[in-house]
Structure 1
Amino acid sequence: MSSPTPDALLGPADVRELAQALGVRPTKQRGQNFVIDANTVRRIVRTAQVRPDDVVVEIGPGLGSLTLALLEVADRVTAVEIDDVLAAALPATIAARMPERADRFALVHSDAMHVAELPGPAPTALVANLPYNVAVPVLLHMLDTFPSIERTLVMVQSEVADRLAAAPGSKVYGVPSVKANWFAEVKRAGAIGRNVFWPAPNVDSGLVSLTRRTEPIRTTASQREVFAVIDAAFAQRRKTLRAALAGWAGSAAAAEEALVAAGISPQARGEALTVEEFARIAEAAPTRAAAPAPSKEHK
């Protein structure tokens, strides 16, 4: 692989010049904060442990700061961009700044939440500076849709990073924590300062690393069934599970019966349970007891 030119990555002046030429003004609606520091994007690529044989998918590439850093290392990069102007301009930026790697780049002009397939080989890694307002649903959608993604590193709002990586018993442990853990082992992987963005956000950012589970959660319940329990448990997180799951089970008594069958105290709260325990509750659902056991599903 030939080495990219030293000035291939975007610096502060490059980002502003590109934005001005395109008539782009970052919008809060789409959570656009462009990274303007080459050292930061290279750090993200290192932290993500991107390898020369990786096929990386990037969500929200913007002007291409992280995209170029990924192309320095990865075999291929596919970027998913929803913005019309940014999507139209990115291939030309790649071709101008890293021509020797341009054939390794593909663009998908779409909302990431609607992406069901990607061009070329299956992705092995997801690396992205996710728009803060849609970070969790986009992350979960990509992990669910592309099981070939083994490693993920996302930059999100610091509070979101804390929630994703939280362990049972933590005050910020909730739906994102449990659902992310269904797919992967999750941990905080660092912090990012505000001054590396343009415009500078009003919140701090954090890196979250997710490593796909080598073995899926062992359960006869489907992902949909387990996620339904998780959603119900945290919809009223201050209530005991007996009360919080009453609607899900049909009544508080039915919820208690399912909890006892799963070996979970009816007085426990959702924030204390692991994803495996939520799966046990799903298996004990009253509606499942009356029907034949479904085939094993780990999706």
Structure 2
Amino acid sequence: MDLLGPVEIRNLAKKLDLRPTKKLGQNFVIDGGTVRRIVRVAEVTTDDVVIEVGPGLGSLTLALLQAAGHVVAVEIDPVLAAQLPETVATRDLGAKLTVVGMDAMKLSASDLLGYSPTALVANLPYNVSVPVLLHLLESLPSLQKGLVMVQAEVADRLAAGPGSKVYGVPSVKAAWYADVRRAGPVGRSVFWPVPNVDSGLVSLIRRDPPETTATREQVFAVIDAAFAQRRKTLRAALSSWAGSPSRAEEFLRTAGVDPSARGEQLDITSFTRIAEAAA
């Protein structure tokens, strides 16, 4: 299939008088091998409706359209959102594409024109990658799997397990929704403009959250409090959330968690038990 290479990307950018901005996280993939690899690792099939956030000039979109049943592309930049159907139409794939021109952080299932995406595959804007990912996992329960490209450090955090130095809020909150793992590195040279950071792929497989009588909001409040002061014990870190150190200790002991432990030692199930003890 005819994908977009460096020449095509630059020609499109010139046509649109496009100057990629850091604000929108615009670094476009210019390497066909990379987008083919992403689609392959994501295991996209014709049974999948794929949601792609930030399709940009369409590098990954074209590869996804070849493999998926349908692609819903969410693009905040109105110029890029208008150009994408034209780029796709020249390759006779327009019937498989729906473009939604809006901020992905405001997206809900009702904005997808009747489509229920089963897979998220995207080169996420690096400045908002974690909030966008968590928002989509919460807002689109039809999502069963995902493969996202993010900054390498963020990929490490998302996939980290308890005890890791980079384990934190993104790690635990992502684990509420899915099994998360690193799926490989991506070099800087496959982008235009070339970013100042390395990139990585993160794979997600949806699973049910831990069984609990606490709400997601209650569990996430515990997570936020536990990591707001990483060096403190949970008894101290959760004191404001609980109302006092003694109340925090009471909730922790009820949950079967050592009050002298730290947040980075707990998995999502432990945070769920703490929230439930306080509910």
Under a length normalisation based on structure 2, what TM-score does the superposition of the two structures give? 0.98
1:211-230 to 2 correspondence within 5 Å?
A: 211-213=205-207, 215-230=208-223
- Secondary structure class of the residue paired with 2:165: coil
TM superposition shift of 1:218 = 1.0
Q: Distance in 2 between matches of 1:104 and 1:75?
A: 7
Q: In structure 2, how many angstroms separate the alpha carbons of the residues matched to 1:284 and 1:23? A: 57
Counterpart for residue 85 of structure 2: 91
Deviation >2 Å, runs of 4+: none
AA of the residue aligned to 1:226: V
Secondary structure of the 1:181 match is helix
C-alpha offsets along residues 212-236 of structure 1, whole Å, 9 cap, x if unaligned?
01x3311111100000000000011
Aligned to 1:123: 117
Letter in 2 for 1:158: A
Residue 106 of structure 2 corresponds to 114
TM-superposition CA deviations, 1:36-76 (whole Å, max 9, x none):
01110010000001011100000000000000000000000
Is residue 151 of structure 2 the alignment partner of residue 160 of structure 1?
A: no
| Partner deviation per Cα, 1:83-128 (whole Å, 9 max, x = no partner) | 12111111111111x21x2111000000000001212331000000
CA deviations over 1:8-29 (Å, ceiling 9, x no partner)? x101100000000000011111
C-alpha separation between the residues in 1 aligned to 2:49 and 2:22?
Answer: 30
1:71 to 65, 81, 87: 65
What letter is aligned with 1:231? D
1:191 maps to which residue?
A: 185
In the TM superposition, what is the alpha-carbon distance from 1:30 to its structure 2 partner?
1.1
- CA–CA distance in 2 between the matches of 1:56 and 1:22? 26
1:259 aligned to 2:252? yes
What is the rounded CA distance, in whole Å, between the counterparts of 1:160 and 1:138 in structure 2?
13
Match of 1:272 in 2: 265
Separation in structure 2 between the aligned mates of residue 147 and residue 85 of structure 1, nearest angstrom? 30
Of 30, 36, 39, the match for 2:30: 36
Question: What is the distance in 2 between the residues matched to 1:68 and 1:40?
Answer: 12
CA distance in 2, matches of 1:196, 1:119: 33
Aligned partners of 2:37, 2:46: CA distance in 1, in Å?
A: 16
User: Separation in 2 of the partners of 1:282 and 1:120?
Assistant: 35
Which one of the candidate residues 78, 94, 106 is aligned to 1:102? 94
Amino acid in structure 1 at the alignment position of 2:131: P
Give 1:174's aligned amino acid. G
> Counterpart of 1:72 in 2: which secondary structure?
helix
SS at match of 1:284: helix
Matched to 2:16, the amino acid is: L
Match of 1:206 in 2: 200
Aligned residue in 2 for 1:16: 10
Give the TM-score normalised by structure 1: 0.92
The AA in structure 2 aligned to 1:180 is A
The one-letter code of the counterpart of 2:65 is L
Identity value in percent:
67
Structure 2 residue matching 1:202: 3-state secondary structure:
coil
Deviations along 1:122-165, one digit per CA (max 9) or x if unpaired, are 10000000011000000000000001100000000000000000
Letter in 2 for 1:225: Q
Structure 1's unaligned 5+ residue stretches are 1-5, 289-299
The CA distance in 2 between the partners of 1:210 and 1:119, in whole Å, is 24
Tell me how far apart the structure 1 counterparts of residues 154 and 213 of structure 2 sit (CA, whole Å): 30
Q: CA deviation at 1:82?
A: 0.4
Matched, 1:171 2:158: no
Letter in 2 for 1:179: K
Which residue is 1:294 aligned to? none
Greater Cα offset, 114-123 or 127-136: 114-123
The aligned length equals 277
Measured in 2, the distance between the counterparts of 1:123 and 1:217 equals 23
